[in-house]
Chains A and B, each alone.
Chain A
Amino acid sequence: MVEKNNESHLPKVLGPVHVWALGVGIVLVGQFMGWNFTIAKGGSLGSIIACWTIGILYVCLIMINTEMGSVIPEAGGQYAMAKYLLGPVAAFNVGLMLVFEYVMLEAADALVVGEILKTLSPEVQALPYIILSLLLLTYLNYRGVHATLNLNIILTGIAFLTIIILLFTTKFYSPTESMLNLNVLTNGLPYGAMGILGALQFGCWFYLGIEGTVLVAEECKSTGRALPLGAITGLITLIIGATITWFITSGLVGASILAKSTYPLFDAAIATNKPIIINILFMGTMLACLASANGCIADASRAWYSMARDTLIPESFAVLHPKYKTPYIAILFLLPISLAFGFTGLLDQVITFSIFSALLVYILTAYMMIKFRKMYPIGSIKRGYQAQWHPIPSIIVLILSGATLFGMYFGYWINLVAGFTFYLLASLWFIYYRSKFLDYDTFVLKEISNWPRPEGY
């Protein structure tokens, strides 16, 4: 029988740079693939409007996440927040949504790796490389977290650099030599305001996952400093990168082609007809996908581990490897799920389920922030970071997340129904079966007894 490690605590080794790398490393891939489906939904102009609108959502989300994350004393991000603020059923759902958000994202990353390798030769098969990417990165995570995040810093930096290289290759600064032709290649707003609404979901792809920085709160040397500094600089990096990406690709590739592309930045590099740039963007896309999948495997397994440690799911998933001290059973359990979705080859469907899960988490996060401030007003509890202009950020998150879910109806209503059904069935399983095994003594940490009594209780 495998014994649960009662000393299941993760070592504190991470600083702001690691938090930045984890956040940006997971998300930067969104510049290299997936975001361009905004053009299919809303046209070129709808795409950049969706990009900036969703950027506002994420600024607000980071603010509220970071405040709550700096108070909650353990790993698990929004899951841990839900534990303390909403109770076991909500926590179970948030944990499940986070896991699926990251598992779908890593599947999408692997899909793109397989597809881009096919551009090398018609004889290349995508499937072995999809599986190899996931297996290799899972093995890396199985062996240890610090090494994988150090690797992510390097991969992320190189991938971001390739976007900058492509930008300067276009000579955008020269009116006579610029390769960009936005006037001819973009298609404005072909579907009007409804197109922008439909595009919002894929606008999330520029930033989805940056909230994962909160998952490593327990592993930070100084949570009050590393978390806000790493997360906010990460978001700024992404907003700049997203705008540059839209600018370059829309100026080099026609909207009708860009709307369907599996790798828009790589297609933009091909449009320059410069072999060295094509090779650089090939490498950038690969590295971004691998860095993202790497971070997702880390995030998803830690969320699953947290749920098991809290007895929301079977405790065998909380066992740490005796030598590597990683949540190895959680890591291995999630691997076949991402492989299964990787097999489908349906990039937009896989992305949509990831985004759907994330949006539900964001809605619950905004609700939790409102409840948190009511229960613990400023000054009643020690906070490492204080979100400004409350409740405006929470309201913005609620409105924009709701609008994005509504926009998902246009073309992906089946995904909406399937997603809601899945989480409903999972909740029923938890309520009528799993809740009997819930151990409230381990569900919340004893440190919570040091918190003051909430207002109104």
Chain B
Amino acid sequence: MSFWGVMNYVAWGLCAFIVVLFIVDIIRVRKGNYKNEN
């Protein structure tokens, strides 16, 4: 596979990673994990 072919998959992977970051943070907010940081 060429370099740019790999980069396409890297881009998709980064997209998935950021989505996971959002989901994890929202779960933390819902659980009240940030309450003590105010």
Which residues of A line the B interface, CB within 8 A? 2, 120-121, 123-125, 128-129, 131-132, 135-136, 139, 142, 321-323, 328, 332
Contacts and interface: CB of A to CB of B under 8 A. Distances in A.
B14 to A, nearest CB: 6
A321 B28 CA distance: 11
B37 A124 contact: no
Interface string B3-20: 011011001101100110
Contacts of A120: 4
A129 B7 CA distance: 10
B15 A124 contact: no
Given A322-B35, A323-B37, A132 B21 contact: no
A131 B10 CA distance: 12
B8 A322 contact: no
Contacts of A128: 8, 11-12, 15
Contact of B11 (A123, A132, A323, A332): A132
A322 B19 CA distance: 20
Chain A: interface secondary structure?
Answer: helix
A332 B25 CA distance: 12
A321 B4 contact: no
For A121, A323, A328, the residue with the greatest tally of chain B CB atoms inside 10 Å of its CB is: A323
Contact of A129 (B11, B22, B37, B38): B11
A409 B29 CA distance: 47
Contacts of A321: 29, 34
The 9 closest A-B pairs by CB, nearest first: A128-B11, A322-B34, A123-B4, A121-B4, A323-B34, A135-B18, A128-B12, A125-B8, A124-B4
B19 to A, nearest CB: 7
B30 A124 contact: no
11 contacts: A121-B4, A124-B4, A128-B12, A132-B11, A132-B15, A132-B18, A135-B19, A136-B14, A139-B22, A321-B29, A322-B38
Nearest to A321: B29
Contact of B37 (A125, A132, A322): A322
Contact of A124 (B8, B12, B19, B26): B8
